[in-house]
Amino acid sequence: MGRIRSWEVSDALWSRVEPLIPVRGRDSARVYRRKAGGGRKPLPPRRVFEGIVYVLRTGCQWKSLPKERFGSASSIHGYFRSWLAAGFFLNLWRAGLAEYDEMVGIAWEWQSIDGSMLKAPLAREAVGPNPTDRGKKGSKRHLLVDGRGVPLSLVVTGANRHDVTQLPAVLDATVCPIPGGIRSTCTRTRGWRAYPGSQRA
């Protein structure tokens, strides 16, 4: 078996992803018949997921997806938007963290928070003037990671929002359960430290 490329989905990964794929609801009392010329048939979920991974790993535009491999780029993008609205990617993140916690253990003792700005010329939400790019429209990603650099939380704001003001929101957005008895404190040199206590400060 050949080496799996970074944008390819292995059978092992797909076996974890497939149970989380959103299923379109249908009325069990109705009989559905496909009309002639009724549009394209639904794409196989694995091909859709592989197309999404390809875009995320290569950084290409949606319209640049290889049609001969994935089919219609607009269809893949449509699935991406509907799966996002259904909470699929958040559930996938949570499932991955749960497996990581079981295998290795989330490194709660030390956590780090940082932000990075990026251009967002077409964005309509979570956007603001970038103070480092002549006030052009931009967004800022505020990321919380554990002691090994595994993402625990992500908040997106306008580029003009300071990291300090978003600290409570980032901590509240942690996507996995925080162990009971954990209390946190922030240090400027090393990051966010958790230690046994009655509650999180």
Range from 12-16, 34-38, 110-114 that averages highest in pLDDT: 12-16
Cα dist from 78 to 58, 62, 94, 164, 165, whole Å: 19, 10, 23, 35, 34
pLDDT at 18 over 80: yes
pLDDT value of position 110: 85
- Does residue 134 or residue 173 have the better pLDDT? 173
pLDDT, average across residues 163-171: 87
pLDDT value of position 137: 75
pLDDT value of position 200: 44
Confidence band for 201, pLDDT divided at 50, 70 and 90:
very low
pLDDT value of position 199: 42
Annotated domain spans of the chain = 1-21+42-86, 107-196
Please write down the HEC assignment for all residues of 120-189. Answer: CCCCCCCCEECCCCCCCEEEEEEEEECCCCCEEEEEEEECCCCCHHHHHHHHHCCCCCCCCCEEEEEECC
pLDDT value of position 37: 61
Taking only the tens place, the pLDDT of each residue in 99-136 is 999 999 999 888 888 888 877 766 666 666 766 666 67
Residue type for position 125: E
pLDDT value of position 123: 62
Q: Residue 167 in contact with residue 188, Cβ under 8 Å?
A: no
